[in-house]
């Protein structure tokens, strides 16, 4: 009797498991529309909610410059979730956000409050945390409708722009969703977002937006963006510039280091930033080889240090902390609520002491 009961018991377990599995909603790839970029703008004037724009990839057998095909869909709704549901009725395939590489907040949205729209992005199951986040200028829809002529497959330009596989620019600072969410929720570190704008039929990213926990509060020009990249990320593929006796001299950086400490001096606190930079001349007047390079280095030291100090004071006046100085302070002091209150009183009056040591390694010419 036992030999009959055991197989029946196993069969019952298998059937129970099979019926308990609800399925993963599998659909063939040819029945899916892969979203490669999503733009979020506020609804038009006089309406509430959002204007959502999706750039959808259209599969093509050709992989060559200009062969990429996309479809752009825009819809207005009171919530993002409702907009996505409505958009599904405009297309014949299931929308899939698993390959979405860019979430773009329109400039008008980011200037008011981005928290509600960020909630949807952070909760949606198929949104990847490694996707890039940026600001679209003048709005996200304009950027979504850009179709770069040299794109080999849908979204290729975005991947090459923000990834390290294509262009490497000291003016482009990529921000991924996981880091953006971390900065929004972390005390002592504020969010940053690159600003994308349309030029001809392509993208331009040279500026960095500084945000507090709710909205955009300031932006950095291209030179300030490059300096931010040099201080925070020690970005070596960049340049420094000095004006000496009416001549503009440019050094291409080969190596760069930066470190800082926060020290109490007298009745206040001072942030001591030290940068070491080495490189060769990329632009310089004729005869620079025979000049006293120590004097040239000192001129670079003074001008680059002044530029870095102006940047630090600018972000301080904006009331944000994109470098994460406050997080460092919290990590090196007692971990209690009083520590954070102390830092909130310290940062607005924090002094900056910046010293730069430039080492000119060559003239850039062969003699």
For position 26, what pLDDT does the model report? 65
Residue 217, number of CB atoms within 10 A of its CB: 15
> Are residues 100 and 128 in contact, defined by beta-carbon separation less than 8 angstroms?
yes
How many angstroms separate the CA atoms of 72 and 121, rounded?
19
* Dihedral sign for Cα atoms in the order 204, 205, 206, 210: positive
Q: Average of pLDDT values for 315-326?
A: 96
What is the distance between the alpha carbons of residues 281 and 239, in angstroms, rounded to a whole number?
9
Structure confidence by residue, pLDDT tens digits, 294-306: 999 999 999 999 9
Contact 159, 128 (CB under 8 A): no
C-alpha–C-alpha distance, residues 74 and 92, integer Å? 15
**Which tokens go with 153?**
């497959």
DSSP state of 348: G
| Helix H or strand E segment including 268 | strand 268-283
Average pLDDT, the chain: 89
pLDDT of residue 22: 52
> Measured between alpha carbons, how far is 273 from 164 in angstroms, rounded to an integer?
28
Residue among 197, 196, 130, 173 at smallest CA distance from 322: 173
Q: Please report which confidence band the pLDDT of residue 3 belongs to, taking 50, 70 and 90 as the band edges.
A: low
For the whole model, what pTM was predicted?
0.86
CA distance 170 to 279: 15
Question: In the structure encoding, which two tokens stand for residue 239, read together?
Answer: 């340049």
**pLDDT reported for residue 5:** 72
Give the pLDDT mean for 128-157: 89
Say what the pLDDT of residue 291 is. 82
Residue 188 is given by DSSP the state T
Q: How far apart are CA 37 and CA 47, in angstroms?
A: 24
Chain segment 180-228, per-residue pLDDT in tens: 999 999 999 999 999 999 988 889 999 999 999 999 999 999 999 999 9
Q: Among the ranges 115-119, 317-321, 334-338, which has the highest mean pLDDT value?
A: 317-321
pLDDT digits (tens, 9 = 90+) for 330-344: 999 887 889 999 999
């Amino acid at each position: 009797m036992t030999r009959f009961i055991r197989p029946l018991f196993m069969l019952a377990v298998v059937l129970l498991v099979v019926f308990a599995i609800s399925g993963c909603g599998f659909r063939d790839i040819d029945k899916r529309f892969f979203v490669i970029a999503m733009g979020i703008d506020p609804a038009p004037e006089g309406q509430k909610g959002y204007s959502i724009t999706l750039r959808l990839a259209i599969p093509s057998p050709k992989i060559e410059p200009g062969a990429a095909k996309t479809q752009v869909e825009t819809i207005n709704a009171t919530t993002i979730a409702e907009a996505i549901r409505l958009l599904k009725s405009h297309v014949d395939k299931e929308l899939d956000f698993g390959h979405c590489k860019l979430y773009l907040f329109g400039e008008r949205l980011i200037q008011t409050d981005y928290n509600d729209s960020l909630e949807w992005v952070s909760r949606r199951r198929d949104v990847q945390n490694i996707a890039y986040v940026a600001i679209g200028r003048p709005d996200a829809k304009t950027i979504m409708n850009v179709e770069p002529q040299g794109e080999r497959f849908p979204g290729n330009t975005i991947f090459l722009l923000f990834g390290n596989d294509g262009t490497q620019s000291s003016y482009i600072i990529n921000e991924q969703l996981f880091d953006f969410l971390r900065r929004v929720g972390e005390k002592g570190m504020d969010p940053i977002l690159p600003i994308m704008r349309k030029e001809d039929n392509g993208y331009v990213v040279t500026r960095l937006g500084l945000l507090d926990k709710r909205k955009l509060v300031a932006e950095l020009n291209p030179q300030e963006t490059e300096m931010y990249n040099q201080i925070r990320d020690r970005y070596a593929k960049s340049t420094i510039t000095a004006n000496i006796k009416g001549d503009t001299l440019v050094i291409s950086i080969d190596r760069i280091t930066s470190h800082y400490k926060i020290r109490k001096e007298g009745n206040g606190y001072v942030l001591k930033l030290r940068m070491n930079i080495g490189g060769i001349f990329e632009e310089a007047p004729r005869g620079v080889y025979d000049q006293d390079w120590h004097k040239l280095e000192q001129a670079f030291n003074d001008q680059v240090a002044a530029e870095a100090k102006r940047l630090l004071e600018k972000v301080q006046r904006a009331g944000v902390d994109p470098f994460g100085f406050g997080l460092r302070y919290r990590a090196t002091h007692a971990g209690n609520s009083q520590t954070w209150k102390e830092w909130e009183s310290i940062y607005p009056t924090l002094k900056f002491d910046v010293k730069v040591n430039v080492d000119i390694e060559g003239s850039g010419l062969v003699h």
